[in-house]
Amino acid sequence: MGDILAIIYPWTKSLHVISVIAWMAGIFYLPRLYVRHTESVTRGTETDLLFQDMEKKLLKLIMNPSMISTWIFGLCLVFTPGVVDFSAGWSWIKGASVIAMTWFHMWLAARRKDFVAGTNTRSGRHYRIMNEFPTLLMIVIVVMIIAKPF
């Protein structure tokens, strides 16, 4: 299996990067939609339904598939011989950060259900603050994978 992963490594890495870019685009955009939905839309209106539809499509058609493909291609990279040194601290911090990013994705999915049920209690400010979380994780992930500081 390792031989096959080594042979397809450039393709796996390319598909992983493409998946990450798509996932991160959604991770950054969905909270911004929530800010506008919270601050500018009256519940039960046509605009409310439009926002719910946009949020659903972003999550289901872009974010979920790109998160899944990020994980699949990322795990293929992890199991490619010579790519990850498990004795190095950077690999564990990067892995924990990816798990935290996945948690944030799931948190966003749960908040979408709140909008659908009409039970959202969070403010636009709350979503703005939470939108900083994936930025911090992205910085940690990129530094760990590129600089490998330890």
Domain ranges for the chain = 2-146
Task: Identify the band that residue 1 occupies on the pLDDT scale cut at 50, 70 and 90.
Answer: confident
* Mean pLDDT taken over the chain: 96
Residues 34 and 39: their CA atoms lie apart, in Å, by 8
pLDDT at 38: 97
**From the CB of residue 41, how many other CB atoms can be counted at a distance below 10 Å?**
17
Q: Is the pLDDT of residue 2 over 90?
A: no
Strands (E), 53-100: none
- CA atoms within 13 A of residue 110's CA, in its CB half-sphere: 8
- Over residues 115-127, mean pLDDT: 96
Res. 88: pLDDT tops 80: yes
pTM: 0.94
CA–CA distance, 70 with 67 (Å, rounded to integer): 5
Percent of the chain with pLDDT over 70: 100
